[in-house]
Amino acid sequence: MSELWRLTASEVAAKVAAKAVSAREVAQDALARLAAVNPAINAVVQEMPEQALAAADAVDAAIARGQPVGPLAGVPVTVKVNVDQAGFATTNGLRLQRDLVAKEDNPVVANLKKAGAVIIGRTNTPAFSLRWFTRNSLHGHTKNPRNPALTPGGSSGGAGAAVAAGIGAIGHGTDIGGSIRYPAYACGIHGLRPTLGRIPAWNPSGPERAIGAQLMAVSGPLARSIADIRLALAAMAAEDLRDPWWVPAPLEGPPAPKRAALCIRPEGLATTPEVERALRDAALRLQERGWSIVETPCPPLREPARLQAQLWLAESRRGLNTALEKEDDADARFVFAQMERLAPAPDLNAFQDALQARAGFTRQWQMFLKNYPVVLLPVCSELPFNDLLDVESPEAFDRVIEAQLVQVGLPLMGLPGLTVATGETDGRPTGVQLIAGRYREDLLLEAGAVIEAAGPAVVPVDPVV
């Protein structure tokens, strides 16, 4: 096996476009890496070697004809099993959907293909994409390649584990409550939850998403470099009017002051010393590159987190309860029971009040972000959890969801968030979260690149077994 799989997406795209290496060679190497390491971690649950090689050959043929190729030409990527990809089942980790074969591509998948990406496999998610841990009764248990005792995160746990292990340079993920940002953190890579409306997405195979999901669920990239996050964002964000929430906002906004707010303990979050050290180290990295850092409280996250759960669960109860019974996935049943305990069913007035309150919280955050263009705060108040901690007991679940305050609270406002890997502490990955204003992913990427440059490089790991 050669080691093309070690390259970043940016490096692969440049080499393929320059004919220094063929897209087929890259794809063959990526598929060989997948075969070598995936059995240990179960990150990719649907392989597609024939389709991948055909896509790579199409890229090579276009280059040979002198035709322009996309920004991800020849780059091996993975796609999460909860989005439609023509010819493959959109399982969402469910036995109930093992035969739900998509007839057309979700816009985000279509955009990856248009950009020349080579999809090598589909990645695992917990049942119903419900958790920050990744195990289901259909595809099995995904392991963290850095440390099998730790969760790979969820719900894009397969994507995070794949990218960390060198299975593809970019992983597609989705995020309604941290499902991109937390797997990136747990697997020691980077992950971007973009602004609502930045990346078009829609599953033709299913019904329209309920309003909570429409307002809070997004697709985005996970990668081993901030440059690759930037490249993937540009490709994924291309126009597709099938998603009525898509907004043709520029990828680069006007200049903003290099000023960041540092919030160690948002609303009394019990941030551990290890996480605080990572945050202060990231702040220092920014400061040494000319950024002004102001330690200050941030706008509310607790009430947004409560309302986010209320909106999501209120809609899920209309159909998920029946599906939970039919699927009978023990993890999903336990987790959903705990969430119902913490977020009682609202009446119609409470549901409307939640939607109404969203505007006020978004306003508060937008005004705050006018003064502090970037906010630096925890991804999680703890280092990555031991695997399956959430289903150990109701008390363990409460500990997990409290630690994930920022993961759950942020989506209500539709704001973008970026997890930046910063290193390791006692065998557990460390990282920080950056928040910016709507459609200002460019500011997140600018700050993230500074933090990245001053720390250890994120390179693929051989799974620890």
Q: What angle do CA 74, 440, 224 make, to 5 degrees?
A: 35
| Encoded tokens for 124 | 């695992």
Q: Are 258 and 249 in contact (CB under 8 A)?
A: no
CA 261 to CA 256: how far, in whole Å? 14
Active site residue 258: no
Q: Does the annotation mark 10 as catalytic?
A: no
Question: DSSP characters for 5-56?
Answer: GGS-HHHHHHHHHTTSS-HHHHHHHHHHHHHHHHHHH--EEEE-HHHHHHHH
CA 365 to chain centre: 22
| CB-neighbour burial class of residue 334 (10 A; exposed 0-12, middle 13-18, buried 19+) | middle
Catalytic residue of the set 80, 113, 143, 258: 80
What's phi and psi for 416, nearest 5 deg?
-85, 145
What's the Cα-to-Cα distance from 123 to each of 73, 277, 332, rounded to whole Å?
Answer: 21, 32, 18
Q: Is 42 left (phi over 0), alpha (psi -120 to 50) or beta?
A: left
Residue 386 has what DSSP assignment?
B
Which of 31, 201, 193, 9 is closest to 115 using CA atoms? Answer: 9
Q: Please tell me which residue in 10, 22, 156, 179 is annotated as part of the active site.
A: 179
Among 10, 155, 156, 225, which one carries the catalytic annotation?
155
* Residue 429: C-alpha distances to residues 7, 264, 334, 396 (Å): 21, 18, 27, 21
Q: What is the sign of the dihedral through the CA atoms of 30, 31, 36 and 37?
A: positive
Whether residue 225 lies in the annotated active site: no
**What is the per-residue DSSP string for 391-458?**
GS-HHHHHHHHHHTHHHHHGGGGT--EEEEEEEEETTEEEEEEEE-STT-HHHHHHHHHHHHHTS---
Region class of 153: left (phi > 0), else alpha (psi between -120 and 50), else beta: left
CA–chain centroid gap for 49, Å, is 24
Distance of CA 23 to the CA centre of its chain: 26
- Residues annotated as part of the active site: 80, 155, 179
